[in-house]
Amino acid sequence: MERRDARLGARLATLEVTNMSTIQPLPETIPAPTVVLRPERGRKGIFGGRPMWLIWPSIFLLVVIIGIPLLIAIYISFLNLDQYTLRSWISAPWVGLANYVTALTSGSVVGASAVASLGVSLAFSLLTTLFITPIGILAALTVNTRYRGRTLVRSLYLVPYVIPTFVTALVWRQMFLNGTGLVDRFLAAIHVANINTYWLLGPNSFWAMVIADVWASWAFIYIMVLAGLQSISHEVYEAADVDGANSWQKLTRVVLPQLRHILGLALLLSTLYHFNNFTLPFVMFGTPPPIQADVLPLNIYVSSFQLFNFGLGGAMSVITLILMLIPGFLYLRALRLGEVTAS
Amino acid sequence: MKVNIRRTGPWLSLLMLLSLVLAACGGGSSSSQGQTLHVLIGYNSTYPTQQKQWMQQIASEFQKANGATIAWDTYSSSNEEQTKLQTSIVSGSGPDVFSFGTTFVPTAQATKGFTTLTDQDWKAVGGKDRFFQQQLTMSGSSPNQLIAVPWVMRPFAMAYNKDLFQKAGITAPPTTWTQFVQDAQKMTDPSAGVYGAEIDPSDTFDPWKIWWMFAEQMGGSFISQDLKTAQMNTPEAVQAVKFWFDWATTYKIVNPNAMAWKTGDALKAFANGKVGMQIMTTTTVTPTLQKSAVAGKYAFAPMPTVPYGMQQRPANGVPAATIVSGDMLAVADYSNVKDLAFKFINLVTEYQHQIQWTKTFGDLPANVQAANNLASTDPQTAAFIQAEQGATPTPFTGTWGPLEVALAGVSSKLANEVATNRYDPSHIKPLLDQANQQIQGQLH
């Protein structure tokens, strides 16, 4: 029996490698071909005669929509920009790195300090992603094979995802109200918690935010995984069946390895999205929020638009941007997208 | 002639994009030049249909009189109001006329984005005499630096449940905070879910209004007379905050589960007949209450003006029962149609329209003649107008807006502590110190 399992394992491993190569643009084991550029002979030499000017509008728009605002945000982060200097913001007093120092060292009477907010945001985005991943994968698996009513189930799965975040947050706020909300009533009915347990204040507010966001966003992982599942060839499952693989073995040895890259992308996008989620905590808690739920985007909003400290808000935004670039950069490096594209 | 598309292509595409961007940017100004007045006012969620009708009527009359049209824009929250104001000031384009609350006028003036009204401008809007003098105290930093024209008044008062008063044997609303606590204790019956008062420490605005009132009555002030020093951590301020949270932690006169409440939650509890007295409310809650369980069983009264534990106010105490409250109209400095803007303000502050506004929406008129007319026929309105005339203005500093938010932060943190049984009155002072330091840094 053990020998049969070992044989099966070896064959599935082979199968995995074979099929991974079908969905990857280029197997990682094959070195990327070296691109040899010919000696430059004008533009034609570099671009191979392709009409590269067609990308100019895109570059122009990127500069206008992303580049200039980004530069302005960085510039603002070095200014003492408040209600008194707002109108002539370009000539607001230059304060160097003072806003960055304040962001990283000082507390705030409104909500949490920037560093504490960073911790809340990281925990919130990572935990939410951690929770929604198995839910999304399981949901995708339940609608991957054909059966009567599958379309209806697929549509129902999308409901939480298509409801506007504003509405989701309002509904969950009502459900989490202490004493009268459904959550407390339910927990009290099953004798798990007191009916007056606070969910919108104190440490529970963090978990209330996570629960609401998990409910609203698991369908994202579901959609991504389902797309990945649909790209797996039927023959692979049949081959696994022939080899006598059970459902668990098919999931762990065939399906998940093939989903590795799309799942990686989904996890990255999900983490970034949750880190930047502003609407949910803003509507659920209002301002100022409890410190345990004072995510960085909310902190930046309060600092900039309510306390009129735009310089500090700018510094916190730049810090956020740098932090967000790290996982994105690592992911691109891991996928070696640059090399593949160049090849 | 042969055209080299590879050379001209980039320039063509750049030209097309530039013209698109310029066309988009120029949209606003060209319509303003075409005699359209852009007006930004608060959205009335209680009377949305009536507000729409009012807008149509005003627009129609305005067009008939001036041949120009009005483009309305609304904001649904103070957050949205602030964001629209900030983006308009920075970009130099947006609404011509802004409506905002009285306490936001100092912050708006600090941005230097609004027209300082000349004598001629005042004449165009009906003259200063048209408006209550008390309202004009919040129109600008000094008599010759006024930027906002009073539109409507909204004095704060206390709503009380007459049935609960009668049941508890209370014959008249309290005039001191000691009586207030005693009356509230008489009405409190936790087994029935009834409490003599309410508390909403998670609200963004109620905490500072209530603490400001307590502190002023005790002789304190959040900002010094010369507007240069923050005084949010004085003994009076600390006592003001402590007294409010004592309602929950010591006197037990409010729902102990109200720490996450905002003003809407408090109103809901009052409307359900579960609250004896709701402080810091306005007549705008009337439509909600008239459709509730307490319809016909409630009344309004001024809030007490004698601090807790005292028989009378200290010598330097101020009988602050309400801030100078209401909405004002200001004209953006970048506006190309200022003459139209003043004509609009003149129209909506005229006698007839002010009367109509009050009858429809419940706010009191800022127009003296209209207010006196209403007061002569309705004693309740007369009481509110009297309250507004005795209103105490908040310090006129551009930092007042951030100060409100800082105090909301203090309230939120203390509510957090009460909710998680970590509350200690000794935590109030350090939090107020922190708020004070933050605001002091912004005072100019």
Per-residue pLDDT of chain B (444 residues; tens, 9 = 90+): 444 555 555 555 555 555 555 444 444 444 444 689 999 999 988 889 999 999 999 999 999 999 999 999 999 888 888 899 999 998 999 999 999 999 999 999 999 999 999 999 999 999 999 999 999 999 999 999 999 999 999 889 999 999 999 999 999 999 999 999 999 999 999 999 999 999 999 998 999 999 999 999 999 999 999 999 999 999 999 999 999 999 999 999 999 889 999 999 999 999 999 999 999 998 888 888 988 999 999 998 989 999 999 999 999 999 998 899 999 999 999 999 999 999 999 999 999 999 999 888 888 999 999 999 998 988 778 878 877 877 899 999 999 999 999 999 999 999 999 999 999 999 999 999 999 999 998 887
User: CA of A125 to nearest chain B CA: how many angstroms apart?
Assistant: 23
- The pTM (predicted TM-score) of the whole model is 0.82
Which of these, B126, B269, B100, B291, lies nearest to B187 by C-alpha position? B269
ipTM of the complex: 0.83
Cβ separation B79–A306 shorter than 8 A: yes
Cis before B143? omega within 30: no
Query: Residue B105's Cα: distance from chain center in Å?
Result: 10
Q: Which residues pair with B37 in a beta bridge?
A: B70
User: What residues of chain B lie within 8 A of the CB of A89, using their CB?
Assistant: 90
- For tokens 């100078």, the residue is B324
Among candidate residues B133, B100, B165, B159, the one with its CA nearest the CA of residue B332? B100
Alpha-carbon distance of B409 to A287, in angstroms, equals 8
Could you tell me the pLDDT band of residue A19, with boundaries at 50, 70 and 90? very low
Answer whether residue A3 shows pLDDT above 60: no
Instruction: List, for residues A64-73, the tens digit of each pLDDT value.
Output: 999 999 999 9
What's the mean pLDDT when you consider all of chain A? Answer: 84
What part of B 114-153 touches A (C-beta under 8 Å)? Answer: none
Residues A191, A193, A199, CA angle at the centre, nearest 5°?
Answer: 150
Residue type for B89, please? I
Q: Tell me the shortest Cα–Cα distance from A176 to chain B, in angstroms.
A: 10
B250 touches chain A (CB under 8 A): no
Mutate to test the interface with B, among A44, A306, A312 (most CBs of B within 10 A): A306
**Tokens standing for residue A91:** 């000539």
Q: Diameter of chain B by CA atoms?
A: 101
User: SS3 for B273?
Assistant: coil
Query: pLDDT value at position A183?
Result: 95
Residues B18 and B20: their CA atoms lie apart, in Å, by 5
Question: Which among A154, A126, A164 is positioned nearest to A272, based on CA atoms?
Answer: A126
- What is the per-residue pLDDT for A75? 96
> In this complex, is the C-beta atom of B385 within 8 Å of any C-beta atom belonging to chain A?
no
Q: Is B190 on the interface with A (CB under 8 A)?
A: no
Whether residues B6 and A89 touch (CB distance < 8 A) is answered with no
Query: Which pLDDT value is given to residue A336?
Result: 66
Helix, strand, coil percentages in chain A from 3-state DSSP, rounded to 5: 70, 0, 30
- pLDDT tens digits for range A132-153: 999 999 999 999 888 999 999 9
Euclidean distance between CA atoms B216 and B314, whole angstroms: 10
* Minimum Cα–Cα distance from B410: chain A residue: A109
Query: Is the Cα torsion angle B246, B252, B254, B255 positive or negative in sign?
Result: positive
Residue A15's alpha-carbon distances to A4, A203, A244, A255, B358, in angstroms, are: 16, 48, 13, 11, 78
Sheet (strand B36-42) strand order:
B69-75, B36-42, B97-101, B326-331, B148-153, B364-365
Whether pLDDT at A40 is above 60? no
Of residues B209 and A23, which shows the higher confidence score? B209
Q: Which of B242, B236, B250 is nearest to B181 (CA)?
A: B250
- Mutation choice for A interface testing from B7, B13, B203, B404 by most A CBs within 10 A: B13
Cβ separation A110–B406 shorter than 8 A? yes
Q: Long-range pairs for A13-18 at CB < 8 Å and ≥24 separation?
A: A13/A253, A15/A236, A15/A239, A15/A240, A15/A243, A15/A253, A15/A254, A16/A253, A16/A254, A16/A257, A16/A258
- The band of A15, judged by pLDDT with boundaries at 50, 70 and 90, is very low
Tell me B257's DSSP state.
T
